[in-house]
Structure formats: C-alpha cells, structure tokens
Amino acid sequence: MRSIRLVLVFLMLAPTLVAQDASHDPADVASIDAIIEAYYEVVSGPAGEAADRARDEYLHHPSALIGVPSRGDDGQPTIRMITLGQYHDAFGGSRQQPFYEWEINRETQRFGNVAHAWSTYASSRSPGGEIFTRGINSIELFWDGNRWWITSWSFDQEREGLEVPGEYLPE
C-alpha cells in the first residue's frame, strides 16, 4: 500500500520535476559557446512573454553582477551595478514587443578558469529579422571544474557618434 502511495505521489510531481529540469539543462553550461548561446536565447522571444528567469539564474553564478549603463542627470555616463534578481525585477516583465537578440561576433580570451568574451550582438523584432540595434556585451565567465558560470556582464549599444568598431563585427 505504501509503495502505491509513493508511485502516486511521484506521478503527481513528475510534470513539475520535468518542467524544472527544462530550465536546468547541463548542456547550457558545458562550454563557453553553449552558455553564451543560452544567454541570448533567454532574452529573446515574442511579445507578451517574459524572459526565462529560471534558466537565466541557472546560467549565472549566485553572486553575479550586471552593469546597466545610462546617462546621469548631468549627461555624463554612469553605470548601475545590480544583481541578476534586481535586473529581472526591473526589466524582466512581459515583453511589450517581440525582441530577439543574437550574437554576430565574439572575441574570447581565457586563462585557466576565467574567460572574457566581447560578444557583439544584433537585435530585431523577429528571429533573424531587420536589425534595429547592435552593441557589445562584455561577459565574464568562470569554470568551476564542472561547468561554466556567468559571473558578470555589462553592455553598450550603438547610438549617434558610437558605432561598433570593425574589429568586433563579422568579416
């Protein structure tokens, strides 16, 4: 009788366990290429949907910091350093418009268990669609011996007077 109850409990919980595993795919963190591909997949999607927060948390180290650049009241550049949770709380709601971002070039440097990627990106309103902005994500990564973690990132995007340098664009 007890084993029947355990089977019933397992069957009731199985869909939840499968859903959780979908956000925690070890393949996402097995290589630098994989974690950066997943990084872009997380933020991309149709209007009305939010970024996959659980998957994003799996990619990032628990102490990861995000640098959000802007301009101060005086017009000078400033950066706000926040946690991933704060980032999702501020920017992670349902998308008002479709948003798709993908990597178009990368320069990676690695020494031991740390790596840095200059990841040039393009953004559009449809997968592979007309680009409305480009920029560079500066991504810091750490290999713990079993998997890669994103430990921090910041970005800047093209605007009047600032274009992505040619060496960071595809040939």
- Identify which has the larger pLDDT, 35 or 6: 35
User: Which is it for strands 148-157 and 60-71: parallel, antiparallel or unpaired?
Assistant: parallel
pLDDT tens-digit map of 118-134? 999 999 999 999 999 99
pLDDT of residue 4: 53
Is 105 contained in some domain? yes
Residue 107 exposure: Cα atoms within 13 Å on the Cβ side: 12
Residue 9 belongs to a domain = no
Q: Give the H/E segment covering residue 89.
A: helix 84-91
Q: Is the pLDDT of residue 103 over 90?
A: yes
SS3 state at 2: helix
The per-residue pLDDT for range 38-77, each reduced to its tens digit, is 999 999 999 999 999 999 999 999 999 999 999 999 989 9
Q: Are 43 and 99 in contact (CB under 8 A)?
A: yes
Write the burial class of residue 121 (CB in 10 Å: 0-12 exposed, 13-18 middle, 19+ buried): buried
For residue 73, what is the domain's CATH number?
A: 3.10.450.50
Q: Is residue 65 part of a domain?
A: yes
pLDDT at 3: 52
Does residue 141 lie in a domain region?
A: yes
1 confidence band (pLDDT: 50, 70, 90): low
Return the pLDDT at 6: 39
Are 137 and 152 in contact, with CB atoms under 8 Å apart? no
Residue 93 structural domain: 27-163
- Tally the domains of the chain: 1
Predicted confidence band of residue 14 (pLDDT cuts 50, 70, 90): very low
